[in-house]
């Protein structure tokens, strides 16, 4: 049994980690920290956790409390991990960070895209990028993993195989992606109020969304990324457009690339967010339009599972030497 700590356990991704770890035969959550919810019983904050964690109490995020743990997940707002990791990494077996603090390899990008200098740039080279289907060799046995979020995961799974194969041009790629409201996290904002989101569909982060450089780093190509917010709780769908470099069958290329991947479904059917609800699977499709010349690639996944906590757990399995699929649901909840 491996001991687990979750920092930021009272947020949506932290709570999802608690749910997934409860179904994992080899993981035991012994530490769950929170900030504003410190001292509260987890089951009082989220009654859905009551059966699995009847006595779990959220504690203060003290790095010393993680001493000797096998793996720690950081489900914290951007900037918080930079303050914890330099100390925490010396105390635990592995760290899987769900925030953006250690995803970008180039420290000079942080002031432009995240509004401030990185406080631990010397650690950036030590982190591997946590999309197992694309960077598995780096994650196996890793000590430090930076797990990307939902937008980056969705776009990268859709586009990286085509870029690597040289099947599409590496510039002028368009990524239009739509996420459910849970992607904004638990903190209350005007833009995430029910009365704001309900019966609305809107774009945001035009031309300068902070996840743009992460997508470009992961796929090795230039993108124009536009995120959208839809009135649904979970789910994300990315529709990506690129110019082919020659004759291409993108669906076959994707099917061959992901043929051995348990959490990727490639099909002619357009992917549906509802089909991925609650699962760690990404559903993809791709088509070439001879009339316009464009290649269209689509990917859907659950933004809190494969787009966040599930992928983080998938990375932890690889880092700890456990079966990669352990504790991760492959079937979505439907209806």
Q: Which residues are catalytic?
A: 150
* Per-residue tokens: 243: 């110019």
Inter-residue contact 30 to 5 (CB < 8 Å): yes
- 118 contact partners, CB below 8 Å, separation of at least 6: 82, 101, 107, 110, 124
CA dihedral 82, 85, 150, 113 (to 10 degrees): 20
3-state SS class at 219? helix
CA distance 298 to 153: 12
In 3D space, the residue among 262, 251, 255, 305 whose CA is nearest the CA of residue 280 turns out to be 305
CA dihedral 77, 78, 79, 81 (to 10 degrees): 70
From residue 297, give the alpha-carbon distance in Å to each of 76, 227, 287.
31, 16, 7
CA distance 244 to 237: 22
β-strand partners of 96: 73, 145
| Residue 109: other Cβ atoms inside 10 A | 18
């Amino acid at each position: 049994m491996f001991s687990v700590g979750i920092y930021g356990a009272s947020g949506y991704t932290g709570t999802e980690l608690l749910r997934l770890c409860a179904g994992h035969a080899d993981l035991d959550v012994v530490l769950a920290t929170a900030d504003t919810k410190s001292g509260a019983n987890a089951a009082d904050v989220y009654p859905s956790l009551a059966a699995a964690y009847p006595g779990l109490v959220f504690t203060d995020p003290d790095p010393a409390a993680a001493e000797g743990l096998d793996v720690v997940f950081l489900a914290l707002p951007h900037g918080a991990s930079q303050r914890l990791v330099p100390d925490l990494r010396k105390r635990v077996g592995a760290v899987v960070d769900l925030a953006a603090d250690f995803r970008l390899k180039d420290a000079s990008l942080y002031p432009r895209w995240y509004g401030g200098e990185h406080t631990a740039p010397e650690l950036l080279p030590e982190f591997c990028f946590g999309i197992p289907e694309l960077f598995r060799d780096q994650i196996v046995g890793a000590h430090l993993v930076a797990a990307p979020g939902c937008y980056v995961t969705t776009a990268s799974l859709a586009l990286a195989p085509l870029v690597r194969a040289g099947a599409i041009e590496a510039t002028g790629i368009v990524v239009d992606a739509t996420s459910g409201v849970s992607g904004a996290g638990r903190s209350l904002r005007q833009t995430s109020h029910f009365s704001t989101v309900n019966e609305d569909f809107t774009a945001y982060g035009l031309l300068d969304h902070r996840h743009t450089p992460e997508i470009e780093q992961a796929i090795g190509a230039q993108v124009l990324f536009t995120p959208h917010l839809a009135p649904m709780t979970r789910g994300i769908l990315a529709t990506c457009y690129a110019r082919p470099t020659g004759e291409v069958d993108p669906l076959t290329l994707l099917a061959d690339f992901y043929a051995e991947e348990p959490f990727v479904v490639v099909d002619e059917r357009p992917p549906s967010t509802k089909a991925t609800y609650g699962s760690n699977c990404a559903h993809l499709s791709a088509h070439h339009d001879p009339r316009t010349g464009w290649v269209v690639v689509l990917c859907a996944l659950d933004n809190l599972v494969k787009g966040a906590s599930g992928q983080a757990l998938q990375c932890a399995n690889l880092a700890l030497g456990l079966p990669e699929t352990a504790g991760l649901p492959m079937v979505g909840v439907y209806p």
